[in-house]
Amino acid sequence: MKTIVIIPARGNSKRLPNKNIKFLAGIPLLVHSINYAKQHGFMDAIYVTTDSKDIKNIALQHGALVINRPKEFSGDLEPTVTALKHALESISDTIDNVVLLQPTNPLRPKHLFKEAFQLFKENECDSLFTVSRNHQKFGTIQDNKFTPFNYKIGQRSQDLEPLYFENGLIYITKAAYILNNQIITENAFPLIVDHPFASIDIDSQEDFDLAEFMINKYIN
């Protein structure tokens, strides 16, 4: 059974230009995910799918294989599953499982990968993804009126009904489902992660600065 890691990293980011190769703690952002995958020897290969020559060169320098992603699969509105599907269709080997690591989530608990993959196998999952609990009070605003969504006015935060958000740290999916345009399947296993790293998803300079703070606090 062959399992690979795919890291999608396109070159044209809008809010934070060139974020995937912007240096975080001394190495390009993308390399954090490559290095994390390399720590786990039970993966058969690590691929980076990209439309950027700069990203391609960095990925190769750090031991990843590269899939050249066409421009039509690299637009702002293109879903991630398109890049994964193209990557699978470009690989000659038969792949059973795909681990998706997003470069915008550079910080992950050390043992999360092993735990997630073990649960994926033991539970015979079609897919698995990581979630974290939300502790905020949400509501909607219509006609200048705020309507609570997940609480009642005056209710304490600790008494909220548990809600969870997709934190983006790890996704594992059987390749057959990705080829059918699915990453999170109907019966996907939600792995709860209670860790500060789950709050890091880099889309802006503020997110980047927070990631640097987290590295200095928890790693350095």
Residues in the chain, how many?
Answer: 220
Tens digit of each residue's pLDDT (9 = 90 or more) over 167-209? 999 999 999 999 999 999 999 999 999 999 999 999 999 999 9
Percent of the chain's residues with pLDDT above 70: 99
Q: Which residues, 6+ apart, have CB-to-CB distance to 63 below 8 Å? A: 34, 38, 46
Tens digit of each residue's pLDDT (9 = 90 or more) over 141-174? 999 999 999 998 888 888 888 999 999 999 999 9
- CB atoms inside a 10 Å sphere around CB 57: 13
- CB atoms inside a 10 Å sphere around CB 184: 17
Residue extents of the structural domains in the chain: 3-219
Tens digit of each residue's pLDDT (9 = 90 or more) over 20-77? 999 999 999 999 999 999 999 889 999 999 999 999 999 999 999 999 998 877 777 7
In 73-209 the beta strands, taken as DSSP E runs, fall at 97-100, 127-134, 139-142, 145-148, 163-174, 189-192
Domain 3-219 has CATH 3.90.550.10: yes
Residue 77 to residue 178: CA distance in whole angstroms = 18
Kindly state the tokens that stand for 207: 């997110």
Q: Is the pLDDT of residue 214 over 80?
A: yes
Helix segments in 71-199, DSSP class H: 80-90, 112-122, 175-178
Compute the average pLDDT of residues 118-145.
95
Burial class (CB in 10 A: 0-12, 13-18, 19+), 92: exposed
- pTM greater than 0.75: yes
pLDDT reported for residue 12: 78
| Of 100, 99, 90, nearest in space to 1 by CA | 99
